[in-house]
Amino acid sequence: GAVVSQHPSRVICKSGTSVKIECRSLDFQATTMFWYRQFPKQSLMLMATSNEGSKATYEQGVEKDKFLINHASLTLSTLTVTSAHPEDSSFYICSAPRQVLPANYGYTFGSGTRLTVV
Amino acid sequence: RKEVEQDPGPFNVPEGATVAFNCTYSNSASQSFFWYRQDCRKEPKLLMSVYSSGNEDGRFTAQLNRASQYISLLIRDSKLSDSATYLCVGENSWGKLQFGAGTQVVVTP
C-alpha cells in the first residue's frame, strides 16, 4: 500500500515552455506532498511543501512564480515548471508521508520525472 | 556546511564481503533517521529506519550515535543487487527531510 504515482516519467521540452508534473496518491489520502529536485550526483533538495486546500510553502531560493504548485484534492498534487530553461533540467520527485496503521512510517516517493529543457 | 554529509564513495566491495559506511549530521534537533536506497535514475526506496539502540534487518545493520551525531550502515554478505547509492536521511520535528548526497556502493563478482 501507500503508492504515489508520478507522471510523466520523462519529458523533453523547448526552452520557454511550461511543463506540468502530477503526483497522485493511489491508495491513501495525501494531505501533504513534498516536492524535491535532484541534480546529478547531488542530494535531493526540498523545493516546496504542498498542503491540500492551502498555499504551498516554498523553500528559500525557490521561485514560487516559476514553480507553481497546486494541491487541489487529497489525492493529487501538481508541480508546473513555467517558462522552463535549460538550467531547470533536473530530476523532480514528489513524496508523501506514508500513513500505514498503526503508525506513520516513513515516506513514499513517486517514481520521479526527468526533465530536459533544450 | 551541509546538514547531512556522506562519503560519496564509490565503495567497491567483492561479492560476499562486508561494507560499512557512516553519515554525519549537524542538526542536533533531528528526530528520526533513515537509510534509503536509490538506484540510478530511480526514486529512493526506504531501506530501514535507524534507532539509537541499533537495528538489524537481514544483512543490513543500522546504528545511530546521537552523542557523536553519526549514523552507520553495515551490509553483510554483499550481493550484486546491493549495488546502489545509499542515502542517509534525517527528519526534523516538523517532518522535513534532509538528504545526504549518497554513498555509492559497487558490488563486484
Q: How high is the pLDDT of residue B40?
A: 87
Rounded CA separation A84/A103 (Å): 40
Give A69's strand partners. A79
Percent of chain B with pLDDT over 90: 65
The pLDDT tens digits for B69-93 are 999 999 999 999 999 999 999 887 7
Rounded CA separation A31/A75 (Å): 8
Asked if B100 reaches chain A (Cβ–Cβ under 8 Å), the answer is yes
Strands A113-117 and A10-13 come out as: parallel
Q: In whole numbers, what is the pLDDT of chain B averaged over residues?
A: 90
Residue B54, H or E segment: none
Residues of A whose CB is below 8 A from B41: 91, 112, 114
**A44 grid coordinates:** 535531493
The pLDDT tens digits for B27-50 are 777 778 999 999 988 889 889 888
Residue of A nearest to B102 (CA): A43
Contact B45 A109 (CB under 8 A): yes
Spatial neighbors of A67 by CB under 8 A, at least 6 apart, are A35, A47, A48, A58, A79, A80, A81, A82
Residue B62 Cα distances to A27, B23, B46, B47, B88, angstroms: 30, 11, 13, 10, 11
Residue B94, H or E segment: none
pLDDT per residue of chain A (118 residues) written in tens, 0 to 9: 678 999 999 999 999 999 999 999 998 888 889 999 999 888 899 999 998 888 899 999 999 999 999 998 989 999 999 999 999 999 999 999 876 543 456 788 999 999 999 9
- Virtual CA dihedral for A6, A7, A12, A14, nearest 10 degrees? -100
**Band of pLDDT at residue B96, cut at 50, 70 and 90:** confident
Rounded CA separation A8/A21 (Å): 6
Asked if A111 reaches chain B (Cβ–Cβ under 8 Å), the answer is yes
